[in-house]
Amino acid sequence: MQELKSLSDAILTGDAKTARDVTEKALAAGVDPLTLVNEYMIPAMTEVGRRYECNEYFVPELLISARAMKASLELIRPLLVASGREPAGRVAIGTVKGDLHDIGKNLVAAMLEGGGFEVIDLGVNVAPEQFVAAVREKKAQIVAMSALLTTTMPSMKSTIEALEAAGVRRQVKVLVGGAPITQRFADEIGADGYSENAPGAVTLARQALSLA
């Protein structure tokens, strides 16, 4: 496991090449991709966040750590995504307006695909109208929103209000997540579900469509 620790270290120091190499070797050796994500990569990003809070790291360090995390996730993503199955349902996912964090959202999207859902990834900085359009035009049955900033959390509420105003709120389930989100906040804004992690989002999506 010492070798896998070098994956955490590579993310911490923003060494994308080492992150990719270690991931490649670990996968070839049969290490479970979710073990890499949950035990090495997410804790490393949490530590990056802690260092940023303590003024040990600044935005450039956040960026290069995120780049290293993405380099590793590029290899892991195809292993999480299933193929050739009838879709369990259609999910429109995005990081809400004003928010550019997409690592967690991408992980949730990949796991939803792995769970058999068709995923419409709206990207980052997604305005309420874009979620509404995905429901109207792409017939999404679930809207999944991610927010990492406390300042963008209200955009989740605005999106639910926009779905109501457009008359489509009853035809979709709204699921929310992201580091600052809580079950209490989800209840307050009238979301249908909250999950604190990516596997939980898949369970939630299945429950929302009564597939669980």
Q: Which of residues 69-128 bind ligand B1M (CB under 6 A)?
A: 98-105, 107-108
Closest to ligand B1M by CB, 28 vs 59, is 59
Q: Give the span between the Cα atoms of 191 and 193, in whole angstroms.
A: 6
In the complex, the smallest distance separating the C-beta of residue 29 from ligand B1M, rounded to whole angstroms, is 23
Contact call for residue 49 and ligand B1M (CB under 6 A): yes
Q: What is the dihedral of CA 50, 55, 57, 63, to 10 degrees?
A: 80
Closest to ligand B1M by CB, 26 vs 107, is 107
Contact, 112 vs 145, CB < 8 A? no
Among 45, 110, 160, 202, binds ligand B1M (CB under 6 A): 45
C-alpha distances in Å from residue 2, one per residue of 9, 15, 22, 65, 80: 11, 17, 11, 20, 24
Contact call for residue 176 and ligand B1M (CB under 6 A): yes
Among 8, 72, 141, 146, binds ligand B1M (CB under 6 A): 146
Stretch that binds ligand B1M, among 55-63, 75-83, 129-137, 156-164 (CB under 6 A): 55-63
Contact call for residue 155 and ligand B1M (CB under 6 A): no
Contact call for residue 144 and ligand B1M (CB under 6 A): yes
Contact call for residue 62 and ligand B1M (CB under 6 A): yes
Q: In 3D, which of 171, 174, 141, 170 has the Cα closest to residue 157?
A: 174
Q: In 3D, which of 168, 193, 173 has the Cα closest to residue 88?
A: 173
Contact, 104 vs 178, CB < 8 A? yes
Beta bridge partners of 160: none
Q: Give the span between the Cα atoms of 143 and 120, in whole angstroms.
A: 10
Which residues of the shown chain bind ligand B1M in the complex (CB under 6 A)?
A: 42, 45-46, 48-49, 52-53, 59, 62-63, 66, 98-105, 107-108, 144, 146, 148-151, 175-180, 195, 197-198, 201
